[in-house]
Amino acid sequence: MKKQVGAKKPELSELSRVKNRVSFLYLEHAKLNRQDSAIVVADSKGTVFVPAAILSVLLLGPGVDVTHRAMELMGSSGLSVVWVGEHGVRQYAHGRSLNHSSALIEAQAKLVSNRRSRVAVARQMYQMRFPDEDVSQLTMQELRGKEGARVRRVYRMQSQETGVAWSRREYNPNDFDSGTPINKALTAAHQALYGLSYSVIVALGVSAALGFVHTGHDLSFVYDFADLYKAEYSIPIAFQVTAEFGNDKDIGTRTRQAMRDAFMDGKLMVRMVADLKKLLGVDNSDEVSVLNLWDDRLGLQKFGVQYAEYEE
């Protein structure tokens, strides 16, 4: 029998649920390896050991070298890995989900494929942003207008509270440093929120592409989901960081660190998991589903059974 090399693959029951994990870790210009159940991160400043099972998403920026053994550990630990551009502005690739159940993605596909249920979920998402008002009878056009006015008010209010000048949102995705300090902070803050939203979505086995408000993009549902939390997290944090570090050349890093602290303090991931399940109407998706065969007449049939009506 071949001897196993390194630590044994963890059982699903041994892994932390997504809502109990650290939100994200952004790395750039570093070498990643594995030692037992930890990711070894080495750069010019030294070496640190990061337990893979406690992380939700690992954002890998430019200049990162990853060994095969490190990727093996990330995959077996259910750690979402996202390859991103400098400052996390672009996303290039990602790994697989933590959840082995298809319950949530089946519910999502069913809801988004029917016009009436899709509108109902979209209204529910807007209702979360207007808890004191009834939006159940508003059209999608009316909801977009109402949300646009709300976001403009949030920007104005944050500008007044922090003293940071504000005119409009503008940025060049190909040139992060060309933006004003507040726009650079907003870009970094939103990307951190997108990263966390994406991590929760894929960790629970939901499709990032099947959006209810946004559509036509492989991250449509990420934009849907992140919009629920921008007014509470990324927008105010971007203004606060700009007010304190507006002339700092590393304002993107400052903003990501502030977002990380806010995610941890506010236990946003716990809330995100609950919100996502509520939106899709599924409460029992924590359990690993049994693999079955689908039959249009008989319903679910057992997998691993030799089905044959005659002998060859």
Beta bridge partners, 39, equal 34, 50
- pLDDT tens digit at each of 312 positions of the chain: 444 444 454 444 444 455 556 667 888 899 999 988 889 999 989 999 988 777 777 888 889 999 989 888 887 776 778 787 775 556 565 665 666 678 899 999 999 999 999 999 999 999 999 999 999 999 999 999 999 999 999 999 999 999 999 998 987 777 777 789 999 999 999 989 998 898 888 878 899 999 999 999 989 999 999 999 999 999 999 999 999 998 888 899 899 899 988 987 768 888 998 999 999 998 754 445 567 777 778 777 776 666 766 445
The number of residues in the chain equals 312
Q: What is the DSSP letter of 7?
A: S
- Annotated binding site for Mn(2+): which residue ranges? 147, 214, 227
Q: What is the DSSP letter of 281?
A: T
H or E element that contains 47: strand 46-51
Confirm if 30 and 41 have CB atoms less than 8 A apart: yes
Quote the pTM value.
0.71
Confirm if 302 and 292 have CB atoms less than 8 A apart: yes
Q: Which residues contact 7 (CB under 8 A, 6 or more apart)?
A: 36, 37, 73
Q: Domains of the chain (ranges plus CATH)? A: 12-94 (3.100.10.20), 103-280 (1.20.120.920)
